[in-house]
Amino acid sequence: MRPLGLLIVALAMLAPLVAYMPLAARYDVIPLISQYIGIVALIAMAFAQILATRLAGLEMIFGGLDRIYVLHKWLGIGGLAAVLIHDTIDADLPALGRETRLHDFAETLGEVSLYGLVALVLITIVTFIPYNLWRWTHKLMGAFFVASVAHYALIMKPISNTDPLGLGILIVCGLGVVSWVYALLPYGLFQGRTAYRVADIDKEGSSLAVTLEPKGKGIVHQAGQFAFVRFGHEGVAETHPFTISKSPDEDRLLRFTVKALGDDTRNFARRLAVGQDARVSRAYGHFRAYKGDKPSVWIAAGVGITPFAAFAGELKDHKGNVHLAYCVREEGDAAHLNELREAEERYPNFKVHLFESGKGQRLTTDSLAERVDVDWHQARVAYCGPESLRETLRKGLVGRGLKRRHFAFEAFEIRSGIGIRKMVSWFLKRFGLNSGPLSSVIALARR
């Protein structure tokens, strides 16, 4: 996450505090605190809506889209927490005068917004709820945000809507509302405007490699980036982010290597056909290969090979030695293994290390260090795979001398929880409840 983006959000939240502090001499402090917290909630939700647009320029301010989605999630959760606090602490200021029907209506809007946001945020963080249900309910978040904005605009408060602070808050909220409406527009109207057609479909291990050719100019991308794709077919209707598993070329062909992880992607092999249309967004992401003279170690788990397949197409630009640790269940599951082997033969500084878990070849810090002979103090590591393995390897490699900042990864998840399972496990262990009926029930809930 880039500091500039965090600074902008922080300043937007702190600015109302500066304006509210002098009011403490005229009004009760507790209601003022409650009102300020309510304003912070509005600003947090507005920025969450803005970040959801994926507009060009956001990555320059906030960092890669993977980090933007993390910030989007926590702004939403933080905004809800602020709303709950605001609702708990009485925000009424009798000194402002007698309440009107308009004030009562604003209170009702606030209550509607509160309950709606609580329900939708719970659906978001409880990740066992089906993706399709979550996707459609998540779009409703903006409607309750609009109700919150109307609540703020109509409620009695010590600062007028036409004051610089009040106007500034309404402008930020207005941008949030416009962003929500923009995100609701059909895919392809502003996003996914670039037209492609399916040129080739290949089976790659346990995955499917779909090559697209542009109908016009196509998009510009860099190795390691991803794009949002929607195929013009009833059976594959959802829009998904897929890493482009091919380095850029003059023809601007794109290749997406897809593993069946959800209902939509499971239909690919059966429903997709050469010649079908597709709509592709611009390329996103800041996941890049280090090309200097220090040793590089690429670590891929399963379909996490996709960015490294693209990196391998640019090995001629790499000065140092490059090691690829590729973890699969068995060799037959490995996507793009043949082209990686060909690259290994073509470039003396490139070496593929295949870890087959089905044969007991587990990828651990020790097994990686046994096969990859590098000075970890100098190495640059790039990782793509499950979070649990990522954290285990990062901790182990840092213990062997790797600088933490030299462990690069992309934390891309459109939908993720807040670590409820970890918190529950810690609670059970902390209070000696990690055995018995309660732990059994939680174990069933995890399945």
| Bridge partner list, 328 | 356
Q: What is the pLDDT of residues 329-358, one digit of tens each?
A: 999 999 999 999 999 999 999 999 999 999
Q: What is the pLDDT of residues 272-324, one digit of tens each?
A: 889 999 999 999 999 999 999 999 999 999 999 999 999 999 999 999 999 99
> Which of 255, 280, 305 lies at the terminal end of a domain, its last residue?
280
| Residue range 381-401: mean pLDDT, rounded | 95
137-141's contacts with Cβ under 8 Å and 24+ in sequence apart are 139/183, 139/184, 140/116, 141/49, 141/76, 141/117, 141/180
Phi, psi of 144 (to 5 degrees): -75, -25
CATH code for the domain in which residue 353 is found:
3.40.50.80
Q: Is the pLDDT of residue 446 over 50?
A: no
Judge whether 392 lies within some domain: yes
Q: What is the DSSP letter of 188?
A: T
Q: Which residue has the higher pLDDT, 202 or 434?
A: 202
> Which of 158, 184, 210 lies at the terminal end of a domain, its last residue?
184
Judge whether 21 lies within some domain: yes
Alpha-helix residue ranges (DSSP H) falling in 28-140: 29-51, 58-62, 65-88, 101-125, 131-139
Judge whether 220 lies within some domain: yes
Judge whether 447 lies within some domain: no
In this structure, are 104 and 225 located in the same domain? Answer: no
In this structure, are 119 and 15 located in the same domain? Answer: yes
Q: How confident is the model at residue 424, as a pLDDT?
A: 44
How far CA 286 is from CA of 1, 177, 317, 319, 410, in Å, comes to 11, 28, 18, 21, 8
Structural domain span for residue 260: 194-280
Q: Which residue has the higher pLDDT, 291 or 103?
A: 291
Judge whether 57 lies within some domain: yes
Phi, psi of 140 (to 5 degrees): -75, -15
How many Cβ atoms are within 10 Å of 294's Cβ, its own excluded?
A: 16
In this structure, are 258 and 223 located in the same domain? Answer: yes
Q: Is the pLDDT of residue 103 over 60?
A: yes
In this structure, are 52 and 135 located in the same domain? Answer: yes
> Which of 247, 280, 313 lies at the terminal end of a domain, its last residue?
280
Q: Count of domains in the chain?
A: 3
CATH code for the domain in which residue 123 is found:
1.20.120
In this structure, are 232 and 326 located in the same domain? Answer: no
In this structure, are 252 and 368 located in the same domain? Answer: no
| Residue range 15-25: mean pLDDT, rounded | 92
Distance in angstroms (rounded) separating the CA atoms of residues 386 and 190 = 32
In this structure, are 93 and 213 located in the same domain? Answer: no
Confidence class of residue 427 from pLDDT cuts 50, 70 and 90? very low
In this structure, are 162 and 109 located in the same domain? Answer: yes
In this structure, are 313 and 257 located in the same domain? Answer: no
In this structure, are 84 and 159 located in the same domain? Answer: yes
Q: How confident is the model at residue 235, as a pLDDT?
A: 44
Q: What is the pLDDT of residues 72-101, one digit of tens each?
A: 989 998 999 999 999 999 988 888 877 788
Please provide the average confidence, as pLDDT, over all residues in the chain: 87
Judge whether 61 lies within some domain: yes
Q: How confident is the model at residue 161, as a pLDDT?
A: 93
In this structure, are 78 and 179 located in the same domain? Answer: yes
Q: Map residue 262 onto helix, strand or coil.
A: coil
Q: Map residue 274 onto helix, strand or coil.
A: coil
In this structure, are 43 and 168 located in the same domain? Answer: yes
Judge whether 428 lies within some domain: no
Contact 296, 380 (CB under 8 A): yes
Judge whether 24 lies within some domain: yes
User: What percentage of residues in the chain have a pLDDT greater than 70?
Assistant: 86
Q: How confident is the model at residue 178, as a pLDDT?
A: 96
